[in-house]
């Protein structure tokens, strides 16, 4: 935009300067020619009264002094003789001898012929000559000054246009940065309105929009947190009912499920009350995966399952929040526990090949049975069918993907590719 504004002003200024300076240049040329011709005419007419007396001696003395001037003078007498600078008797001279003063364009300049009447031997002619160089005297210098003036004015207009365009572009760029910060979740971002009225209105509108979005998200966050908090009452009742069970094994199993539900609700409340953070969410996948596998190991031990965990020794940062990654892994492990018989082993592997993060959940159960379990809300086992959809959305939000297949043991295998950070945290 800055370049376009500068080019537009430059083109407009160029047209204005050409429209102004071109006629002025021609006017300067005409004024110079008129001035030279006027001076030569005055010299010729000043000699005419002396020529009319017929005193050639006096005329010749006067011409000797006059030839030192810029314009040569010649007197063509009626008897065919001349005084002063030699000049031919051409058709223009013969026309002037008839009593008509004229100015004629000849090779190399212009000649001014003044007819002098009243002589004893007939009319005489006073001739003054103005060369082309004299006609254009000072024109070149004047044109150079005009050209420099035009270039200077054009340069000043371009500098002013660039300054104005830079000011506009800077404010528009600031608005663009604000919109990008808002899109990344930085709802505290604001801009100081300024500049032209239209740009100022856009800045005020973006500030109001950011405030409105923040208010709406806060309201929705509080509503979701309050709704989640209401779940604590049935959880308390469920825990009391669990403690009244006579079978200790069944009580531990149901109590463990209540613990999982309570942890999920607690994390949901904390996440809802946590303010929005600028930039994409990130977490250490090693810590999250290790923690969730340790959490699920209690239930696995009760069902006589073995969980093989393999994670790198160094942290693995992924473009997923800890809450989202935990929910993703919980959904995958829940599927294994719900859809495979007790005693089926499973493996949880986190690896980072070629700088990318890959989470692999595999088991030696019956597998997917040739169906596609990814469609949202579709299930053949009495569940909601949202588990793998949560996994898919988590992976895609980080810039990754999900692949389903068969494990080496013949069971199901889910490979979740997670995006890794490319810049500073």
Does residue 193 lie in a domain region?
A: no
Per-residue pLDDT, 416: 93
Residue at which a domain ends, from 106, 123, 140: 140
Within 13 Å of residue 102, how many CA atoms lie on the same side as its CB? 13
pLDDT of residue 252: 74
Instruction: Please report the pLDDT score of residue 311 as a whole number.
Output: 93
Q: Is the pLDDT of residue 182 over 80?
A: yes
d(CA 416, CA 384): 21
Name the domain boundary from 106, 140, 174: 140
pLDDT digits (tens, 9 = 90+) for 363-388: 988 887 655 555 544 444 444 445 68
Average pLDDT, rounded, for the chain: 83
Tell me, what's the pLDDT at 377? 45
Indicate the angle between helix axes 248-273 and 232-243, nearest 10 degrees: 160
Q: State residue 371's pLDDT score.
A: 57
For range 111-119, the mean pLDDT: 85
Q: What is the pLDDT, as a whole number, of residue 383?
A: 44
31-45, 59-73, 196-210: range with lowest mean pLDDT: 59-73
Among 82-86, 271-275, 308-312, 390-394, the least confident range: 271-275
Give domain status of residue 31, yes or no.
yes
| Single pTM value for the model | 0.48
Among 18-22, 147-151, 153-157, 275-279, whose mean pLDDT is lowest?
275-279
Confidence (pLDDT) at 323: 80
Out of 84-88, 191-195, 368-372, 395-399, pick the least confident: 368-372
Cα–Cα dist 202/175, whole Å: 8
- Measured distance CA(390)–CA(376) in Å, rounded: 9
Most distant CA pair in the chain, distance: 161
Average pLDDT over residues 306-332: 89
- In this structure, is residue 61 part of a structural domain? yes
Q: Is residue 214 part of a domain?
A: no
Residue 382 sits in a domain of what CATH number? Answer: 3.30.565.10
Distance CA 87, CA 98 (A): 18
Domain assignment of residue 317, yes or no:
yes
Q: Considering only 180-184, 245-249, 299-303, 396-400, which range has the smallest mean pLDDT?
A: 245-249
Total count of domains within the chain: 2
Q: What is the pLDDT of residues 135-174, one digit of tens each?
A: 988 899 999 999 999 999 999 988 988 888 888 888 888 8
**Gap between the Cα atoms of 378 and 396, Å rounded:** 19
Over 50: is that where the pLDDT of 33 sits? yes
Residue 387 in any domain: the answer is yes
Give CA–CA dist 203/187, Å, rounded.
Answer: 15
> How much is the pLDDT for 382?
45
Average pLDDT over residues 9-23: 88
Long-range contacts of the stretch 14-23 (C-beta < 8 A, 24+)? 14/154, 17/150, 17/153, 17/154, 21/146, 21/147, 21/149, 21/150
pLDDT given at position 300: 87
| 178 located within any domain | no
| CATH code of the domain containing 119 | 3.30.450
The residue with greater pLDDT, 88 or 68, is 88
Higher pLDDT, 276 or 184: 184
Which residues make Cβ contacts (< 8 Å) with residue 51, sequence separation at least 6? 59, 75, 116, 119, 124, 126
Q: How many helices (H) and strands (E) does the chain have?
A: 11, 12
Q: Partners of 405 in the beta sheet?
A: 413
- The yes-or-no verdict on residue 46 having pLDDT over 50 is yes
* Pair of tokens at residue 154: 């054009």
Better pLDDT: 34 or 299: 34
Length of the chain: 425
- Cα 365 to its chain centre, rounded Å, is 56
**Encoded tokens for 6:** 């500068």
**Whole-number pLDDT of residue 351:** 92
Give the C-alpha separation, 285 to 281, whole Å: 12
- Does residue 180 form part of some domain? no
Mean pLDDT value of segment 236-258: 74
Domain boundary among 140, 155, 176: 140
Q: What is the pLDDT of residues 404-415, one digit of tens each?
A: 988 888 889 999
Which structural domain range is residue 358 located in?
Answer: 280-425
Q: What does the pLDDT look like over 184-206, one tens digit per residue? A: 778 788 888 887 888 888 889 88
């Amino acid at each position: 935009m800055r370049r376009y504004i500068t080019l537009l002003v430059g083109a407009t200024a160029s047209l204005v300067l050409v429209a102004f300076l071109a006629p002025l240049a021609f006017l300067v040329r005409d004024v110079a020619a008129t001035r030279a011709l006027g001076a030569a005419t005055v010299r010729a007419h000043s000699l005419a009264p002396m020529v009319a007396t017929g005193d050639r001696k006096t005329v010749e003395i006067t011409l000797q002094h006059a030839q030192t001037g810029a314009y040569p003078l010649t007197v063509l007498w009626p008897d065919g003789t001349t005084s002063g600078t030699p000049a031919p008797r051409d058709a223009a001279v013969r026309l002037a001898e008839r009593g008509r003063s004229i100015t004629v364009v000849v090779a190399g300049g212009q000649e001014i012929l003044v007819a002098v009447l009243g002589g004893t031997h007939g009319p005489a002619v006073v001739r003054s000559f103005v060369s082309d160089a004299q006609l254009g005297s000072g024109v070149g210098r004047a044109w150079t000054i005009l050209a420099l003036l035009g270039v200077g004015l054009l340069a000043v207009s371009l500098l002013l246009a660039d300054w104005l365009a830079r000011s506009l572009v800077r404010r528009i760029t600031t608005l663009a940065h604000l919109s990008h910060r808002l899109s990344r979740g930085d709802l505290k971002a604001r801009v100081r309105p300024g500049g032209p009225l239209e740009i100022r209105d856009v800045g005020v509108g973006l500030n109001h929009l950011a405030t409105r979005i923040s208010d709406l998200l806060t309201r929705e966050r509080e509503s979701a947190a309050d709704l989640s908090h209401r779940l604590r009452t049935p959880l308390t009742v469920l825990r009391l009912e669990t403690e009244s069970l006579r079978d200790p094994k069944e009580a531990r199993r149901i109590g463990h499920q209540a613990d999982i539900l309570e942890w999920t609700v607690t994390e949901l409340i904390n996440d809802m009350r946590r303010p929005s953070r600028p930039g994409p969410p990130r977490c250490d996948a090693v810590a999250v995966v290790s923690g969730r596998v340790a959490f699920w190991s209690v239930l696995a031990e009760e069902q006589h399952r073995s969980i093989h965990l393999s994670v790198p020794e160094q942290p693995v940062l992924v473009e997923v929040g800890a809450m989202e990654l935990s929910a993703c892994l919980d959904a995958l492990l829940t599927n294994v526990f719900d859809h495979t018989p007790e005693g089926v082993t499973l493996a949880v592997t986190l690896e980072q090949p070629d700088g990318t993060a890959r989470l692999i959940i595999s088991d030696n159960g019956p597998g997917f049975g040739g169906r596609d379990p990814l469609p949202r809300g579709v299930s053949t086992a009495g569940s909601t069918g949202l588990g793998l959809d949560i996994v898919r959305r988590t992976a895609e939000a980080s810039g990754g993907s999900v692949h389903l297949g068969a494990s080496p043991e013949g069971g199901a295998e889910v490979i979740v590719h997670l995006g890794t950070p490319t810049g500073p945290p």
